[in-house]
Structure 1
């Protein structure tokens, strides 16, 4: 990662821009640049703190060799872009990396207790030390944010003078200098004391600064600052309430990630040269007109034959929504999942595959009827898959999935025709539940009663997070979703114990609605653990039968029982029932629903209602 230069670059010979020579501050993996340290997030490097810059200058600063383009047409169409780019590498051998800016700017010196802007300490170039004391400066532990995604400095001056000057945030300063010290008596906020040398205000602690209305009581609202874009004082302020957060809090930055599997006919890479021409091609129906356009666009021979272009256009139009009304984003995302489910269910055993094919899904050789007593059907061996995960936007304070008008903050000030993304190549196992048995089970009154309690609790959480409870998205909790979700978790835990996979190296992908009842467990990392064939071997019917039976028996007992299995409220707001970290919860990177909507009793049966267990007969 490299911070931007403090001054405007001078031009080199013949008016060209000289080579970059920016200082380096730490390193992050490419995957982290999407999931953990994306645009707008805070990065702690040693004793310094930075914020990852926006993408407005990325076309110039991201090296094409280290940040190549990747293509996934179905996901690009969903997100309204032409292509994606891998984030640049940031190791010692890379030419460039992610650009960052120093944030927060307020720092304190542990020696002289001064609290002021970083530049006011007069640090030597390239160092973050007090110019007087020669000790490392400490970035402010506190920042403020609003639900629209803006981020700013904590208003220390207003906090200190709140009892003396109750004027607006722009009141005339007293002329004093702020100081911060720690009493050391406790580790609470009460021990952090702020004072001003003007003597007009008493020392105050940081206690109470995290109250929801703490800054509102001072007359402070969000000014719309976006330090990752370098805009410190926009013309129109935001005006939303501000919340105090710790710099390292997960609420400071939450990514909005969308992903798609590469499935035929898009999975062989032959359509990549057409990435920027699909909008124009969709305007034509006549193959002759399409051929004329392609000759003009590629100045001669098109790298993709005309018949393949027509087949790709037909495949894309199959995913077009019915009716004239524009579909919502969620509706289009569900359509994308539906097409994946169809392809996983049918496979491509008989297709003539090239070496470039990125999706290989085959029927296992063993007898699949051995799974019938379990209520499991249709296992498929996904011997080769490619998933593209794109960073669409980010949020602060609120979960992007909690409301239809989520306050998603864009990654750049001006719209771009691409988004940062990463690709995962690996393998997986797909299976479905028997629709007849599932239909009978999910109508059981004990099952619907348990899931309704979870759904109601989840809906309350969504309503509380939404700006307007009337516009909150409905909870997706249904009996089949909770069952598939919990089954995927116990399978991942079982394979992590029996097949040698770390739980964090596996990931679930759920397909659950009125017409789908399947799950895909696949390798979620791009290292060698994702391509050795070990997971596919577990998908053979005989092995899968043993795995499911062992996983269900293991789920019968939890070290927290009987509290876990008899729990009436679990997780945040009661969004889980019989589920805890000792039994079915997984690392957050492996779960699509952030470890909520889980209930082990739907697998094994509740103590007072054995009928709730879909696999109860396995234990009998």
Structure 2
């Protein structure tokens, strides 16, 4: 078996099929399969395949896509998510063998007592598989513990226990069944491999125990005095060693110098890994970074309709498509069986879609070249161009899920804002391409070999995706004014300080990927800093009036200077979406009315002019050796939750937004002027 990097996998058990829901089908009462639930958005960005999901009693790792197939096999027909623009991006990254975007295996219930969807779910493996007894501190592998999950309506009670636990010191007369918890220490490498910590080798300093072939271990807390972390002790020979020794660069030298190449989500090993493993704790934020791509579904052109139908026919009819390529009536019959809707399609349109579906794929060399030159801004350009054509708005195609309305602007609205568009309805599609560990990539195509695969048997033929519906507000700044303002910023001392800090940040990152990327290519333009800061202060303001929490509002920034490939852009979309079919309730889009929006913008800018941390915040400018990626911005005035910000609260500076009265030194002219201009 090979993949894009020609890795050869060694499976734990080549015949193993992970299907925990089979317990339900077999009527097993003692160990019910389901152990919890999660929203699709959570599975996309936080707990996807390869991540570690904490449950009340233990932790699990969602499995790779191979193990999803038995779950999907329970349905005769699977309706994929059709979005040609996003599918094309996924194919560029993963290959043309990706034929569809699939939703997560979930089915809504008609009533509380309904059994619909009980046979669907995300398969997962228990990980890590070393546990510690809370009663006697025994540390051992999973088979040494018993599993309990007997209540059909309380999956949170599922846990592993240590039977006949003697208690600490072994002096307990009546032995009991004590709960066990996962051991927190793991090994990870920059190539995305993850492994159990070798506790036996660690406590014996790389050698075998002199007193027993497979000795028992204990793990003690040592948060007293100068000791930090846990201490591992061998019961047989009495050897002890603290986990604090494994931390940092010095500790890394004491760990195994060769990575075993383990992917627990695939239940496989990939030998010959050239990266060194490092200690990582189970709940560390750099354990799993999702690689996702997102688009807002736009009304399609005729060519895009052909592409969408071609994708549906390719998936639904497979090899039969070529056999009957010129027989429209036969294609229609097969399409009906495959649940592909061609009712409103003429024969000529149908045959054109068939021809499109049968076109040869681009060569691997062409795909790699296109991937190397790809910029994520390309996903935003079609959305920006559509929003620049209000004449198209009354002719909206409701099938796209997008409904937008050009709004009147209040005469008192800041003159820097020249357009307001109410996004009454929108549909957002999100797809998972893979993930990385330790090292988050700025772009998915930075170091493609670092992207951990989702399947073990060849390249994926589909990837998980979610479909969210919601609403939003789009604000556009005057492009001529933005261009003139940006030219002044580019020659300022403040911008020079931000550029230098960004360079230092890149050079100092604990990141193998960053070393291969030119820092200057990844510094957003001043207009991005402006719109990003404006978006944050608006999110904080709108959250107090729209009925949605700030963490439920997200941003989409359209900010780039003109180039030969694309026109300049300067706009932002603040939106909220939900994964259920009904979408959201309209509280955010109601704020786009001219009087309400004028009040919200004025209030947001007034708040941005002052911060409870001023003058420290207003004067914050990175200088050697500092390398933070923001200026006059902090939690008190500009930062928002991670679910809202597309750049992790980086590239923010209120001085680009407003001329701050308390700012000295690196002062610049704010785009919206001073507070007196409001």
TM-score of the two chains, using structure 2 as the length reference: 0.77
CA shift, 1:176, in A, is 2.8
| CA–CA separation in structure 1 for the residues paired with 2:427 and 2:356 | 19
- Structure 1 residues 488-531: Cα deviation after superposition (integer angstroms, max 9, x where no partner): 11111111123333111211101111111111111133469953
Contact 1:90 1:97 in 2 (8 A): no
1:547 aligned residue (600, 603, 610): 600
3-state DSSP of counterpart to 1:589:
coil
- Structure 1 residues 182-208: Cα deviation after superposition (integer angstroms, max 9, x where no partner): 24536x862521111342x63221113
Pair 223,485 (structure 1): closer, same or farther in 2 beyond 3 Å? same
Match of 1:179 in 2: 218
| CA–CA separation in structure 1 for the residues paired with 2:189 and 2:581 | 41
| CA–CA separation in structure 2 for the residues paired with 1:40 and 1:312 | 37
Match of 2:286 in 1: 251
Aligned ranges 1:229-244 → 2 under 5 Å = 229-231=266-268, 233-234=269-270, 236-244=271-279
Pair 219,53 (structure 1): closer, same or farther in 2 beyond 3 Å? closer
Q: Are residue 224 (structure 1) and residue 261 (structure 2) matched?
A: yes
1:274 aligned residue (300, 304, 310): 310
Q: Are residue 344 (structure 1) and residue 387 (structure 2) matched?
A: yes
| CA–CA separation in structure 2 for the residues paired with 1:618 and 1:290 | 69
3-state DSSP of counterpart to 1:387:
strand
CA shift, 1:370, in A, is 5.2
Q: Are residue 612 (structure 1) and residue 612 (structure 2) matched?
A: no
Number of residue equivalences: 591
Q: Are residue 195 (structure 1) and residue 229 (structure 2) matched?
A: no
Contact 2:246 2:255 in 1 (8 A): no
| CA–CA separation in structure 2 for the residues paired with 1:280 and 1:89 | 21
Q: Are residue 404 (structure 1) and residue 439 (structure 2) matched?
A: no
Match of 1:457 in 2: 501
1:376 aligned residue (417, 429, 433): 417
Moved more, 23-32 or 138-147: 23-32
Match of 2:435 in 1: 394
3-state DSSP of counterpart to 1:551:
helix
| CA–CA separation in structure 2 for the residues paired with 1:554 and 1:311 | 56
1:87 aligned residue (104, 118, 125): 104
| CA–CA separation in structure 2 for the residues paired with 1:191 and 1:378 | 56
CA shift, 1:459, in A, is 3.7
CA shift, 1:480, in A, is 0.4
Q: CA RMSD of the aligned region, Å?
A: 4.1
CA shift, 1:598, in A, is 0.6
Contact 1:30 1:89 in 2 (8 A): no
Contact 1:428 1:520 in 2 (8 A): yes
3-state DSSP of counterpart to 2:298:
coil
CA shift, 1:451, in A, is 3.1
Contact 1:269 1:356 in 2 (8 A): no
| CA–CA separation in structure 1 for the residues paired with 2:80 and 2:354 | 22
| CA–CA separation in structure 2 for the residues paired with 1:572 and 1:34 | 34
Contact 2:532 2:651 in 1 (8 A): yes
Match of 1:37 in 2: 47
| CA–CA separation in structure 2 for the residues paired with 1:447 and 1:89 | 54
Match of 1:14 in 2: none
Contact 1:451 1:477 in 2 (8 A): no
Pair 328,125 (structure 1): closer, same or farther in 2 beyond 3 Å? closer
Match of 1:142 in 2: 185
Moved more, 132-141 or 108-117: 108-117
Pair 507,152 (structure 1): closer, same or farther in 2 beyond 3 Å? same
- Structure 1 residues 131-190: Cα deviation after superposition (integer angstroms, max 9, x where no partner): 22110112111111111111100121222122xx579xx99985432221224536x862
CA shift, 1:456, in A, is 3.2
Moved more, 471-480 or 524-533: 524-533
Match of 2:87 in 1: 76
- Structure 1 residues 43-84: Cα deviation after superposition (integer angstroms, max 9, x where no partner): 121121111111113122135499752111100111013322
Pair 330,393 (structure 1): closer, same or farther in 2 beyond 3 Å? farther
Q: Are residue 442 (structure 1) and residue 497 (structure 2) matched?
A: no
Match of 2:174 in 1: none
1:560 aligned residue (613, 630, 641): 613
Match of 1:284 in 2: none
| CA–CA separation in structure 1 for the residues paired with 2:324 and 2:301 | 19
- Unmatched 5+ stretches in structure 2: 1-11, 92-97, 151-158, 166-176, 318-322, 336-341, 562-567
CA shift, 1:88, in A, is 2.5
CA shift, 1:356, in A, is 2.9
| CA–CA separation in structure 1 for the residues paired with 2:377 and 2:582 | 29
Match of 1:583 in 2: 637
CA shift, 1:19, in A, is 5.5
Contact 2:555 2:644 in 1 (8 A): yes
Contact 1:506 1:521 in 2 (8 A): yes
- Unmatched 5+ stretches in structure 1: 12-16, 282-288
| CA–CA separation in structure 1 for the residues paired with 2:17 and 2:374 | 47
Match of 2:549 in 1: 502
Match of 1:335 in 2: 378
2:37 aligned residue (17, 27, 34): 27
| CA–CA separation in structure 2 for the residues paired with 1:189 and 1:158 | 21
Moved more, 578-587 or 598-607: 598-607
CA shift, 1:476, in A, is 3.1
CA shift, 1:425, in A, is 1.0
